[in-house]
Amino acid sequence: VGATVSDHDMTLECPRINKQGLTVQGSPLLGEAGSVILVLQDASAARSLDRQLGFRSAARSVAGMAAILAHEVKNPLSGIRGAAQLLEASVHPDDRELTVLIRDEADRIRALVDRMEVFGEKPVTFAPVNIHRVLEHVRRLAQSGFAENVRFAEVYDPSLPPVLGNRDQLVQVLLNLVKNASEATDGTGEITLTTAYQQGVRLAVAGSNARVDLPLVVAVRDNGPGISDDIRPHLFDPFVTSKPSGSGLGLALVAKIVADHGGLIEVDSRPGRTEFRLHLAMHTDDGASQI
């Protein structure tokens, strides 16, 4: 006779660790009346995976919306912008400001649609990538522009094997995270870039018994004020942002790219410390893809 198994979520809090979410499974011990077996599992990885699947579904919705907008909006926008340019050359100087406004807003909407189009399911080529070279490239880009007054610290594991990924997309992901970190500190704080090898994170491949190891950890940490509690649960959802001029697509794209790499992204935030962690697959010696 099969034993009944019960699942419960709980939070464990100890002096040496922060609050830790756990999944507790309980089942009767056969042959021992009144005895129960309890299994405690860290719930963070499973919840992260659930969120990744949600991010990918949301990304597909954005891609579908972008395809419609590209057809229904971008073409008329070109006509509106062209008409505004013609009017700008002939209207009274007092009205020229309005034509400039029309032109600029048309450009802004077109740029938004262009950003949404990158969520499409285009084929991506994966190869071995030296993540430290990617991080160095991102740091140089940041320090030559938006993060010129930010202090950077680098804590790297020099023995880290190559990541299995797409270099350009990984640059895009890390540049976005570094830009957000810089903005969180008003461009004058400190950003720490970290890499590490960490065993224990494995994902099941849908439709098979295979497991994918994600031992490579890449982290971006800042000393800003932290992420507000109302934004945090929806941080990677499209169009969710706390920035007055933000589109809310940056982190959604980050999550989509990480999911396409077969990886996980996690965030840990509190006042004075926010860290985004990427868990990625490594390239094997035989060149076989684990994704």
- Look up the CATH number of the domain holding residue 254: 3.30.565.10
Domain boundary among 117, 144, 177: 117
Burial classification of residue 186, based on how many CB atoms lie within 10 Å of its CB (0-12 exposed, 13-18 middle, 19 or more buried): exposed
Question: Residues 196, 86: one domain?
Answer: no
Q: Note whether 24 and 158 are same-domain residues.
A: no
Tokens of 54: 């949600």
Q: What's CA 131's distance to the chain center, in Å?
A: 16
At 290, the pLDDT band (50, 70, 90 cuts) reads very low
Does residue 1 sit within a domain? no
Can you give the pLDDT at residue 59?
A: 62
Domain range for residue 263? 127-280
User: What is the pTM assigned to this prediction?
Assistant: 0.68
Same domain, yes or no, for 111 and 135? no
Is 291 part of a structural domain of the chain? no
Give the pLDDT of residue 60: 63
| Average pLDDT for the chain | 81
What is the structure's pLDDT at 119? 65
Name the band, by pLDDT with cuts 50, 70 and 90, for residue 150: very high
Once rounded to an integer, what is the mean pLDDT over residues 240-260? 78
Are the C-beta atoms of 201 and 214 separated by less than 8 Å? yes
Residue 224 CB neighbours (<10 A): 21
- For the chain, how many structural domains are there in total? 3
Task: Answer yes or no: do 134 and 182 share one domain.
Answer: yes
Residues 27 and 60 in one domain: no
- Same domain for 170 and 234, yes or no, is yes
Indicate whether 151 and 35 sit together in one domain. no
The pLDDT, as a whole number, for residue 30 is 75
d(CA 239, CA 245): 12
Q: Same domain, yes or no, for 268 and 168?
A: yes
Q: Which residue has the higher pLDDT, 138 or 249?
A: 138
CB 123 within 8 A of CB 289: no
What local confidence, expressed as pLDDT, does residue 1 receive? 44
Whether residue 53 is found in the same domain as residue 169: no
**Is the predicted pLDDT of residue 261 greater than 70, yes or no?**
yes
Residue scoring higher pLDDT (34 or 261): 261
* Window from 25-34, 126-135, 176-185, 277-286 with minimum mean pLDDT: 25-34
What's the pLDDT score for residue 289? 47
Which band of pLDDT confidence, cut at 50, 70 and 90, is reported for residue 38?
Answer: confident
Percent of the chain at pLDDT > 90 equals 33
Q: What percent of the chain is modeled with pLDDT above 70?
A: 71
- The residue length of the chain stands at 291
Residue 289 lies in a domain: no
Query: 267 with 134, same domain?
Result: yes
Residues 268 and 142 in one domain: yes
286 falls within a domain: no
224 and 259 co-located in one domain: yes
Query: Rounded to an integer, what distance in angstroms lies between the CA atom of residue 70 and that of residue 192?
Result: 39
Torsion sign over Cα 157, 158, 163, 167: positive
